[in-house]
């Protein structure tokens, strides 16, 4: 069979596998991997040309993937994830790696179990509209830390166990690339950016050239690490978004072939001999791994529900787990059974975590009493001073809350702010005249202690519709319910909230449109005024 014919068969199999995965609401990469397993069972992937094509295409796909990881996740973003996400991410990786290694007897499997899938988790958070929630931000922050740890692990694996030499080479590479990033690449990309075609070809050439150099015998790393470094060198350029948009379709195609090659590397015989350990490790990932995350977050003072939702979101293995297993085999540091086990665990946990996410609230109702008992003692340390009647209660001190708080203070009413981020409540305690409480809005038991039924105004800047409906249901029981102003994510949620008794529902996007309409009506195209407003807004960000 010719290479062209082989490529046609692989692309067709990937498309069919992707469609089936989509129909069952599963990640596409699972469909690609299962297609590879089927093609391998049929003997197709053992054909010489097809085997070589899969090997080359898979390596190129991963190289482009890591190029975009380096391009889109610059080091500076680590400063923005916060101390909690940084500590939680590192602690979770270490604990899970240790437990996974002890259970499986393999450090490579333990390492693979330590990471969670950015692709799967972000998809689930987006579907649940939870990316902006506290647990969503914590989850994404932990994933960001995991990605950088995974990259570091790949660098050491590429060193074939010679950690001292690998460390020296790594320091030299970082030094060289630091000079290139600061002095050379900004000028080169700015010049290439004058033509979108030239920018695409030039950055692709840069990626492949660095990958080839880094994987040469002189340096001895892998092409994939070279791709990551090439992307990292361009992360600070003003053209990085345009580069990413151009490279992504090419990456997706070759990455598809990589996941087919991963599936092709899993034989039916290995599946039958490793299914028990794969099932046991899957149970570990689906249960003990979330428990590790939950325990770490509870220890740091986060509420039971936030800790639970974060732990549950991370209950699968990562695409990086598969990359690490494949790299360990290619560098002769592990046998093919490692890839089989990690791939099986990946398929089981990625599918299972999807269904666990759908039943998250039902599961929480079962484990809530135990998790609440485990909460850090300070979670329940509400102010001993009785909350007076006629006060204002605001849930969530996010961007909206931060803007309206100073105005609420001018109303000369006692102001009580509830937030489920302990860092936020600690900062609020430093503000005179503001009382802050660490609490979860979904905890109905908290409402009574806040004196909600005796409040004059209740404001919720949290856009979670279920939590807001619970809040409205509680204050609606009062003979004289307070004024309620609620933030909604979209018009559908707004209609539900109005039906539940909300006095005013704010949809941020709609309010932004109304503000612009009012601005044009009152000021027209007054450039000086618009520029002044823009500068004031930028100053207050």
Q: DSSP for 409-442?
A: HTTTS-EEEEES-HHHHHHHTTSTTEEEEE--TT
| Separation in Å, CA 149 to CA 93, 105, 142 | 8, 21, 11
Residue 65 CA, distance from chain mean position: 16
Contact 300, 422 (CB under 8 A): yes
H-run or E-run covering 268: helix 268-283
Q: Which residues pair with 460 in a beta bridge?
A: 395, 486
228: closest CA among 169, 142, 155?
155
Q: Which letter, b or e, does each residue of 164-199 get, where b requires 16 or more Cβ atoms within 10 Å of its Cβ?
A: eebeebbeebeeebeeebeeebeebbeebbeeeeeb
Give the contacts of 343 (CB within 8 A, at least 6 positions apart).
Answer: 33, 262, 263, 265, 266, 322, 325
276: closest CA among 323, 320, 341, 328?
341
C-alpha angle 93-364-507 in degrees, rounded to nearest 5: 95
Give the contacts of 257 (CB within 8 A, at least 6 positions apart).
Answer: 10, 14, 53, 54, 57, 58, 61
Q: What is the pLDDT of residue 503?
A: 93
Contact 63, 14 (CB under 8 A): no
Q: What is the pLDDT of residue 284?
A: 92
Reduced to 3 states (helix: H, G, I; strand: E, B; else coil), residue 128 is: coil
Give the contacts of 438 (CB within 8 A, at least 6 positions apart).
Answer: 301, 303, 378, 379, 381, 418, 419, 420, 422, 425
31: closest CA among 296, 349, 276, 351?
351
β-pairing verdict for 457-460 and 392-395: parallel
Distance CA 66, CA 226 (A): 9
pTM summary value: 0.71
Distance CA 208, CA 224 (A): 10
Distance CA 255, CA 60 (A): 8
Q: What top-level class would CATH report for the domain 3-368?
A: mainly alpha
Residue extent(s) of CATH 1.20.1530.20 domains in the chain: 3-368
Distance CA 97, CA 110 (A): 5
The encoded tokens of residue 413 equal 């009413």
Instruction: Give me the sign of the Cα torsion angle 144, 148, 151, 156.
Output: negative
The encoded tokens of residue 478 equal 């009062």
Distance CA 162, CA 156 (A): 8
Contact 33, 347 (CB under 8 A): yes
Contact 452, 441 (CB under 8 A): no
Distance CA 436, CA 419 (A): 8
The encoded tokens of residue 29 equal 């990469």
Helices (H), 359-419: 360-374, 399-409
pLDDT tens for the chain, 541 residues: list them.
778 888 888 899 999 998 998 888 777 888 888 888 888 888 887 777 787 888 788 788 888 888 887 787 655 555 555 677 788 888 889 988 888 888 777 888 888 899 998 877 877 787 777 776 778 878 888 888 888 888 878 777 765 555 566 667 667 776 776 666 666 777 788 888 888 888 899 999 999 998 998 888 777 777 888 888 888 788 777 787 788 888 888 888 888 888 888 788 777 777 888 889 989 999 999 999 999 999 998 888 777 888 898 999 999 898 788 888 887 887 777 777 888 888 889 888 888 888 888 788 788 888 878 887 776 544 444 444 455 678 899 998 877 888 888 888 888 888 899 887 777 887 888 776 678 887 778 777 678 788 888 899 999 998 888 889 989 999 988 888 999 999 998 889 999 999 999 999 998 888 888 888 888 888 888 888 888 888 887 776 6
416: closest CA among 465, 445, 457?
457
Residue extent(s) of CATH 3.40.50.720 domains in the chain: 381-506
Determine the topology of domain 381-506 in CATH: Rossmann fold (3.40.50)
């Amino acid at each position: 069979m010719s290479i062209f014919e082989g490529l046609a068969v692989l692309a067709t199999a990937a498309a069919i596998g992707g469609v089936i995965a989509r129909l069952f609401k599963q990640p596409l990469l699972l469909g690609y991997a299962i297609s590879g397993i089927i093609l391998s069972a049929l003997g197709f992937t053992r054909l010489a040309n097809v085997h070589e094509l899969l090997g080359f295409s898979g390596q190129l796909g991963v190289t482009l993937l890591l190029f975009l990881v380096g391009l889109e996740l610059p080091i500076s973003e680590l400063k923005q994830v916060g101390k909690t996400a940084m500590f939680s991410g590192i602690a979770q990786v270490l604990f899970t790696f240790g437990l996974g290694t002890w259970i499986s007897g393999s450090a490579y499997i333990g390492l693979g179990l330590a990471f969670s899938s950015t692709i799967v988790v972000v998809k689930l958070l987006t579907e649940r509209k939870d990316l902006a929630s506290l647990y969503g931000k914590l989850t994404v922050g932990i994933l960001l830390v995991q990605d950088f740890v995974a990259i570091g692990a790949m660098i050491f694996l590429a060193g074939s166990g010679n950690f001292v030499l690998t460390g020296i080479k790594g320091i030299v590479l970082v030094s060289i690339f630091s000079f290139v990033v600061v002095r050379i690449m900004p000028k080169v990309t700015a010049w290439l950016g004058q033509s979108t075609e030239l920018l695409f070809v030039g950055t692709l050439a840069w990626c492949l050239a660095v990958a080839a150099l880094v994987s040469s015998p002189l340096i001895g790393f892998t092409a994939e690490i070279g791709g990551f470094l090439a992307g990292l060198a361009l992360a600070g350029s003003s053209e990085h978004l345009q580069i990413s948009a151009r490279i992504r379709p090419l990456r997706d195609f070759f990455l598809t072939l990589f996941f087919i090659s991963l599936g092709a590397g899993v034989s039916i015989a290995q599946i039958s001999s490793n299914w028990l350990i794969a099932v046991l490790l899957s149970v570990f990932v689906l249960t003990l791994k979330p428990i590790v995350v939950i325990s770490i977050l509870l220890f740091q003072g986060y509420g039971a529900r936030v800790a639970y939702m974060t732990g549950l979101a991370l209950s699968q293995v990562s695409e990086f787990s598969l990359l690490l297993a494949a790299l360990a085999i290619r560098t002769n540091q592990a046998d093919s059974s490692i890839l089989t086990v990690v791939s099986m665990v990946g398929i089981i946990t990625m599918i299972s975590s999807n269904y666990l996410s759908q039943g998250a609230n039902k599961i929480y109702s079962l484990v809530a009493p135990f998790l609440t008992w485990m909460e850090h003692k300070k979670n329940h340390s509400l102010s001993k001073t009785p909350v007076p009647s006629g006060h204002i209660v605001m849930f969530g001190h996010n961007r909206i809350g931060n803007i309206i708080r100073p105005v609420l203070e001018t109303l000369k009413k006692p102001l009580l702010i509830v937030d489920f981020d302990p860092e936020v409540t600690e900062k609020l305690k430093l503000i005179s005249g503001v009382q802050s409480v660490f609490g979860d809005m979904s905890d109905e038991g908290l409402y009574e202690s806040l004196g909600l039924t005796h409040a004059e105004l209740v404001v919720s800047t949290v856009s979670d519709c279920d939590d807001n409906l619970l809040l409205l249901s509680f204050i609606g029981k009062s003979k004289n319910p307070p004024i309620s102003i609620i933030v909604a994510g979209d018009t559908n949620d707004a209609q539900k909230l109005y039906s539940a008794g909300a006095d005013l529902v704010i949809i941020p996007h709609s309010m932004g449109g109304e503000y612009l309409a009012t601005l044009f009506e009152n000021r027209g195209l007054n450039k000086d005024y618009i520029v002044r407003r823009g500068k004031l807004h930028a100053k207050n960000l």
